[in-house]
Structure formats: C-alpha cells, structure tokens
Amino acid sequence: SSGPRCPVCAEPCVSPRLLPCLHSLCTPCLRRLGPLEEPGPAAAALSVLCPVCDAEVALPPGGVGQLTPDYLALSRGGAVAAGCDFCTDGAAVRRCLTCGADLCLFCCQAHRRQKKTASHVMMELENAKDCGQAGKPLFCPSHPTEELRLFCERCDQPVCRDCIVDRHRQHPCDFTSNAIHRHGDALRELLKSTQHHVGTLEGVLNQIDNMGSAVRSRAEAVATEICLFASGYVKAIEEHRDQLLKQLEDLKVQKENLLHLQKAQLQQLLLDMRTGMEFTERLLTSGSDLEILITKGVVASRLAKLNNIAYNTHPSVDDGIQFSPQERAGQCCGYEVFGAILNKVVDPARCTLHGEGLHNARQNQMTGFTLLCNDTTGERMGRGGEAVWVTISHKDKRGCAVKPTVCDNGNGTYHISYSPEEPGLYAVCVYVKGQHVQGSPFTLTVKNKFRKHQGVFHCCTFCSSGGQKTARCACGGTMPGGYQGCGHGHKGHPGCPHWSCCGQVKKSLECLEGPPRDTLERSLVRTVVL
C-alpha cells in the first residue's frame, strides 16, 4: 500500500506507462483517456490530454500499448508489496539472486533444503535499492524467455539475443553496460541545460512579481494624484474623477492581466521543466542501466522539446502610467473638464528635427535628417509606431518634388532620407499625426553636384612637380629663372597649401573653376601626374 499510486485513480499502479510529458499513469486510466478529436480515415497519431498537466500529447501508432513502461515506478512499488513467486499465500521477504525470484519465508526455507538450490544466494528485499537494481532481470516482450542484455544503436532500444538474429540482423549492437555510458552522458547534458533554464525562469518570475508590485504602486500613486486634483470641484468634477479612476483601473487591470498571463505561461513551463528535471534526476540516480536505456528516448525527447521553447526574459509591460491635469477632457455634466490618463502620448509641438541634411543638400546625393518624438512633458517617447508624413517641394518649379523615405528606428526617432535631382530652394514639411512638428515648415537649399578637383593639393608647384619649369598652378604664382609655376615666398603664392587646378586653399571644398587658360592644361596634368 506504500508503493507508487496512479495520480488519476489514486490506486496502486498497474502496469504504469510514461506519457511524452513524463507523467506516469496506470494502463487502465490511460485506456480511459479519450482522443481530442475523432480520428478520420487519414488522421495522424491520436492526441490526448494529460490529466496531470493538461498537456496535449501524441500516442504512438499502436496506442497505449506502445508507450514506454515506467520501470522506475514498478521498481519502487515491487519492493514493497511484492508477492511470493512460488506460492500465492505469502508475501515476498527475500529474493534469490540466482533464480531472480521473490520468495516468502516458507519458500525460502524450502529453497535452502533442496539440493539443486541450496547454494543459491538470497537477499533481503528491504536491502535492495529497487527491483531492477537488486538483480531481477527484464525480459524481451517479443521473446519472453530471453533477457534484455544488448542495446541496438540503430533502433535505439534494448534487445535480446534472439532479436539480433531476427529483426535486428546486421544492426550495430553493444552490451547495455557499454551503451549506458554514452547515452547516460547525453541525458546528463540535457539535464544540465534544463537546470539552467529553470534558474532563468525563476529569475524572470521574480521580475514579474516585482513589476506587478511596481504597477500597483504606480497606479495607487496616480489614483491619489487624481483624487487631489478633483477634490476642489463640484459634482461634474467628482463624476469626472470617478471616470478617470475607472479608466486607470482598466489600464491597471489590463497591464496586470498581461503580466498574469505571462506569469502563468512561464510557471507552467517551469513546472514542466521541473517535472522533467526531477524525473530525469530520479532516473539517473535510482534507475538501473537498463531502465535508463529503456526510458532515455522519451526523456531526451521531452527535455529537448522543453529546452527549445522560446520565452521572454523580461516583463511584457512597463509601469508607464501618467496623469496630465492640463489635458482637455471635453464636457462633463455641462462643464469643460481637464485631466487625462496619459500612457506616453506624442506631442507634435515638442518633436524636434536634427541632422546635416536639414537645411543644405547636394544635387543627386543621398542625405537626410532625424526626427525626435517627445511626449507632452518633453520626454523622449522611447518607442516607434507614430504616423510621420514628410513632403519636399521645389519653390520655383511646379510639379518638382522629392520623394523622401521615412525609417522608423523603433526608439522614438525617425530617419528621413532623400536625394534631390534639381538644385534650388525647397519647402520641407514634417507632420506627426497630421500636425506640424517644431520648426516645420522650413527651407532646404540644394546646391549643384559637388565638383571634384582635377589637380593636386600641394604646397607649391616647384615641390609637387619635382622642379619642372613648365609646370603651372591655377593660383597664378611664378618664380624667377623661367619657372612658370608658384613657389614658396615668390610672387602670386597664396602663402599656404592649395589646389593646383583652381587655387582653392581649403582641401575639403569643391573645385571653384577650371584652369584660367587652356594652355595650362598640359602643365597642370603634368603636375598632377608628378
């Protein structure tokens, strides 16, 4: 009566078998489980609901009979309430390790007196770790007289000697004592991974509890603020206060419901992982080698499935609840009232624009600027999803417009990129929720395409040309001795490094003009080459 009991009928387990969720039920209770839907002619494997965890599990094609037997439960129960294998009257107190039979006290004495069995080794059942480890053999279901001693690696199941010459011919097989090392280590690795997830889940659940407390505390604080704001008003304001409190309660309930849903899902996942972890630990510590090999397939499948379930490691909502007394709330009992619950609402008048492409751009060059969205308090929104609309139209040419691209960065900022095809002045309008943002509309100046330099940026023509007399520079400087280009300290030299093609002294600026005379082209090109 102290052996394992079925969690459904609460009776001692009769032929317990393992569901894929690692819950063990007796065979009669398993056969009473109804399928989730009526099987059709082309139906897949039957699915049932586990009565312990309500998980939908698929039965093998052969039904309940092909579920993995729970030898671990049989071992725990058999050691307590086993009967004598030789008679039907006495309860087993010892086991013959030679015969593998459980014997009562009377049959033990008779076993000792017989000449053929006098030398057999007897063992007290109370000293056995369990039936499987005490030496009771497990026999092949296909060949009842043959003990399961081998393990087929291809079929992933224990087999007997007759199975090797029959259905498992030429399959790679090994003794169970050798196979247990490889498969036991694989189960331990899965168990270690599951333990890591359990620790993570416990931490997430603690965060959810803390966030729930923060939401409730924040809601209470806002409720107090609302009550203070509405205390000086008459019936209309009191009614408006009640409406605000109801709205706040709905928002709090909504956030708490989301947290409760996430918590329930994570708790169920944690419970499933703990169940799998406890069963695997019990199997690895209490099960025999053969029991581990028999059960390891369904255990490994369950743990791998649990480890692949994705879950959010942060609470699904935040405590962003605010109250704005200055917000217009319409009419209440004929009076205009103020005050509203804000859950981060964008304010177009407080949105700002930033970036190099805000007022200046180049023809046929991609550029842009950034829109920063803020709420009514001037704080950054921190999230995207707002309705942003941008227009860029030429002021002088009708029908000439630039089609911008708006990219939502998801953090309250939006990048607007564009590439103007025509130079000139453009009017730029930026709208959020149909309203102009701060600084909109504004003027954009588009200049001609950037002119690249055709010369070299040098200190003087003498140095860059290696002393060539015919090399010239657009700065117009010359040197005595027949040198047609500029030199340090000589006439026409600008006194600093400059471009040989146009005389521009700033290296980053575009080219101003070409060479003053066509006759200089050969000399300037020669200077560039040198």
pLDDT tens for 420-434 read 988 999 999 999 988
Q: 203 by DSSP, 3-state: which?
A: helix
Place 504 in a pLDDT band, splitting at 50, 70 and 90.
Answer: confident
Q: How far apart are CA 117 and CA 114, in angstroms?
A: 6
Q: Omega before 516 cis (within 30°)?
A: no
Query: CB–CB of 323/341 below 8 Å?
Result: yes
- Model pLDDT, residue 217: 94
**Taking the CA atoms of the chain, what radius of gyration do you get in angstroms?**
43
Tell me the CA end-to-end span of the chain in Å, nearest whole number: 104
Beta-carbon count within 10 A of 277 CB:
20
Closest CA to 222 of 343, 316, 337, 383: 343
Beta-carbon count within 10 A of 210 CB:
11
- Model pLDDT, residue 143: 83
Query: Over the stretch 393-415, which tens digit does the pLDDT of each residue have?
Result: 999 888 889 999 999 998 889 99
The residues, any chain, with a CB within 8 Å of residue 7's CB and separated by 6 or more, are: 23, 24, 25, 51, 52
- Model pLDDT, residue 83: 60
Helix 289-307 to helix 176-230 angle, to the nearest 10 degrees? 30
Question: 277 or 176: whose pLDDT is higher?
Answer: 277
| Tokens 């489980």 sit on residue | 33
CA distances from 29 to 17, 61, 316, 503 (A): 10, 18, 39, 97
Q: Which two tokens stand for residue 9?
A: 């009928």
Please state the separation of Cα 505 from the chain's center in Å.
55
The residues, any chain, with a CB within 8 Å of residue 330's CB and separated by 6 or more, are: 336, 337
3-class DSSP string for 209-243: HHHHHHHHHHHHHHHHHHHHHHCCCCHHHHHHHHH
Please state the separation of Cα 265 from the chain's center in Å.
15
Phi, psi of 406 (to 5 degrees): -105, 125
Q: 251 by DSSP, 3-state: which?
A: helix
| pLDDT above 70 for 247 | yes
Q: How far apart are CA 149 and CA 522, in angstroms?
A: 96
- Residue 194's beta-bridge partner residues? none
Range with the largest mean pLDDT of 166-170, 256-260, 342-346: 256-260
Place 335 in a pLDDT band, splitting at 50, 70 and 90.
Answer: confident
Query: CB–CB of 36/47 below 8 Å?
Result: yes
Q: 136 by DSSP, 3-state: which?
A: coil
Closest CA to 97 of 67, 76, 125, 78: 125
Closest CA to 75 of 239, 262, 250, 295: 295
Q: How far apart are CA 397 and CA 424, in angstroms?
A: 9
| pLDDT above 50 for 56 | yes
Helix 235-286 to helix 289-307 angle, to the nearest 10 degrees? 150
Mean pLDDT of the chain: 82
Query: Over the stretch 163-181, which tens digit does the pLDDT of each residue have?
Result: 888 888 888 998 888 888 8
Average pLDDT rounded to a whole number, residues 373-396: 86
What is the H or E stretch that residue 131 is in?
Answer: none
Q: Which two tokens stand for residue 98?
A: 């030679």
Q: What's the one-letter identity of residue 323?
A: F
The residues, any chain, with a CB within 8 Å of residue 505's CB and separated by 6 or more, are: 494, 496, 497, 498, 499
Region of 399 on the Ramachandran plot (φ > 0 left; ψ -120 to 50 alpha; else beta): left
- Model pLDDT, residue 382: 77
Question: 263 or 176: whose pLDDT is higher?
Answer: 263
Global confidence as pTM: 0.35
- Model pLDDT, residue 61: 80
Query: Over the stretch 203-234, which tens digit does the pLDDT of each residue have?
Result: 999 999 999 999 999 999 999 888 777 666 68
Q: Which two tokens stand for residue 178?
A: 């050798």
| Tokens 């007399």 sit on residue | 469
The residues, any chain, with a CB within 8 Å of residue 66's CB and separated by 6 or more, are: 59, 60
Region of 466 on the Ramachandran plot (φ > 0 left; ψ -120 to 50 alpha; else beta): left
Query: CB–CB of 526/501 below 8 Å?
Result: no
Closest CA to 133 of 291, 280, 13, 14: 291
CA distances from 18 to 70, 137, 298, 309, 351 (A): 6, 20, 8, 21, 61
